Amino acid sequence: MKQYLMAFLGSQMVLFSVALLLSLTTLSCEDCRNRILDDALVDGVVGEYYFDDLHSKEFCSGEEWVLLGGTLPPGIHFEDDGDFRGIPEKAGYYTFTVGLIDDSDDTFRVYASKSFTIHINECPRMVLTQTLPPATVGEYYTAQLEKGSIDCLDGDIWILVSGNLPPGIQLISTAGRLAGTPTTAGTFNFTIKLTDESNLSIGVTQGLSIIVH
């Protein structure tokens, strides 16, 4: 009788242990579904490939990431595994809300949500030309303006923002080239700007001079 009682109690203890383990597992999963671990996303640059990803607490199965609201940067896509990928097309600050859902049934309940902001910076432009060769009155002149190696997405143009070019010499905006036959001697100081053809308010400037003999 004593042996049967011990066996019965032993089986009950085993069942209780299994039930407790299942209960703890369920609690852990519920806890993880309410935890989005990331606090911020990395900045991006117009025209450069972007990648970042979100993380939730471990041990959850059947979870999927969704975009709940707001606006992603144009050119960047949010995938259901929590990855952000793409090539940003426009600078700015973009705020949106993402959520974790359970796709194991038809309810698609949102277990957690969080708002993030991605800052997309303008394409970095750099003027490498610091000096220009001299020119001679009556002789054809040409000089190429040099820029950094990054090709910005919307296209670069060069514009004259102040000062004067030597009479007879023109700036070819799309090519970044100075060309023409100068007609007047002197020193001519001016400032050029490497900018975006769709937004002339951005870009970088450089002061230059041409001495015409």
H/E segment holding residue 30: helix 2-33
Look at residue 12 in the predicted model and tell me its pLDDT: 47
Does 103 share its domain with 203? Answer: no
Q: How many CB atoms lie within 10 A of CB 52?
A: 17
Residue 172 domain boundaries: 141-212
Single out the residue in 121, 155, 182 at which a domain terminates. 121
3-state secondary structure of 94: strand
pLDDT, one tens digit per residue, over 82-95 is 999 998 888 889 99
pTM for the full model? 0.56
**CA nearest to 193, candidates 203, 179, 208:** 203
Look at residue 18 in the predicted model and tell me its pLDDT: 36
Look at residue 11 in the predicted model and tell me its pLDDT: 46
In-domain check, residue 127: no
Look at residue 106 in the predicted model and tell me its pLDDT: 65
DSSP E strands, 46-151: 50-53, 63-70, 76-78, 83-86, 92-102, 110-121, 141-144
H/E segment holding residue 6: helix 2-33
Look at residue 31 in the predicted model and tell me its pLDDT: 52
Which parts of the chain register pLDDT below 70? 1-34, 58-62, 104-108, 149-155, 198-201
